Amino acid sequence: MGVVNVTPDSFSDGGRWFDTTTAVKHGLDLVARGADLIDVGGESTRPGATRVDEAEELRRVIPVVRGLVSEGVTISVDTMRASVAERSLAAGAALVNDVSGGLSDPAMIPVVADAGAPFVVMHWRGLLEGGNVKGVYADVVTEVVDELRARVDAVLEGGVAADRVIVDPGLGFSKEAEHDLALLARLDRLRALGHPLLVAASRKRFLGHVLAGPDGAPPPARERDAATAAVSVLAARGGAWAVRVHEVRATADAVRVVRAVEGARTPDDTPPAPGAHGAEGTR
């Protein structure tokens, strides 16, 4: 899933694809580089971002959805507003990606249910205004899994079919780097929810944290694409359905390599037991 943020202020690419023509062209470029679908968003979710009004969000998103759909691109719309989801679906979008998992707008779940569209339900503890006060966990993996399960139940109760629900741990949303890493270490627990899993790590703060130099300074967001591709490999190995990324080429190549190596396994290829070669000699 390639990202097209039609915003002046997104965290890693704000302002770059802000007019319709540039945004459509960027979406097509991402498809050429290997994206299977494009996630179009008109509102930044970065901490402290001010919400855009509905009319402005529609103005940003709908022409880009239309433009890409007319080119045959599969579109996901990244929005917390039911009206934007509804208009995007009418314009040909295939999927709704709501970072609030239907919590932000009570009309969202009925709109998605009526349309029969796939719905990304992300783990979310509210808007990130005033710092990361909600990002406190005793056991982040268990809490995120439990809270996601509760959201999935609510979405199903609202009429969305079970086979339309996609889950997402919401990396970086009310989470510190240690929380994001713990979640990536246990993708199996998220997979056990029984729904396709979306992993959206691209260029996020926790990668900056991992890559920080001796002075503690993280590299800028646009220099985190190799790190993002590493997460894409982990996600592919962990059985994720999709990864949401800003720079598609590195991820598409990385995932193809994972697939090729996995395809080269023969049925009797059992991996060696841990430590199996330790006794024979350390080189």
Which residues contact ligand PMM (rule: CB under 6 A)?
A: 3, 5, 10-12, 44-46, 78, 97, 99, 120, 122, 168, 170-171, 198, 200, 203, 244
Q: Please tell me what DSSP assigns to residue 162.
A: G
DSSP E strands in the chain: the ranges are: 2-5, 38-41, 75-78, 95-98, 119-122, 165-168, 198-199, 242-243
Question: Which listed residue (175, 186, 205, 244) is catalytic?
Answer: 244
C-alpha span between 212 and 210 (Å, rounded)? 6
204 is catalytic: yes
Q: How far is the CB of 39 from ligand PMM (least distance, A)?
A: 7
Q: How far is the CB of 281 from ligand PMM (least distance, A)?
A: 45
Q: Using alpha carbons only, give the angle 179, 4, 201 rounded to the nearest 5 degrees.
A: 15
Specify the residue, 67 or 101, whose C-beta has the smaller distance to ligand PMM. Answer: 101
Q: How far is the CB of 13 from ligand PMM (least distance, A)?
A: 7
C-alpha span between 226 and 72 (Å, rounded)? 29
Specify the residue, 33 or 272, whose C-beta has the smaller distance to ligand PMM. Answer: 33
Phi then psi dihedrals of residue 94, to 5 deg: -100, -15
Select the residue whose beta carbon is closest to ligand PMM and give its number: 200
244 is catalytic: yes
Question: Which listed residue (60, 151, 204, 224) is catalytic?
Answer: 204
Specify the residue, 67 or 172, whose C-beta has the smaller distance to ligand PMM. Answer: 172
Specify the residue, 168 or 247, whose C-beta has the smaller distance to ligand PMM. Answer: 168
Specify the residue, 11 or 17, whose C-beta has the smaller distance to ligand PMM. Answer: 11
Q: How far is the CB of 173 from ligand PMM (least distance, A)?
A: 6
Q: How far is the CB of 172 from ligand PMM (least distance, A)?
A: 6
Phi then psi dihedrals of residue 5, to 5 deg: -90, 110
Q: Which residue do the tokens 């349309």 mark?
A: 115
Cβ contacts of 137-144, under 8 Å, gap ≥ 24: 137/179, 140/175, 140/178, 140/179, 140/182, 140/183, 141/182, 141/183, 141/186, 141/189, 142/189, 144/169, 144/170, 144/183, 144/190
Q: Would you please indicate which residues are annotated as catalytic (active-site) residues? A: 204, 244
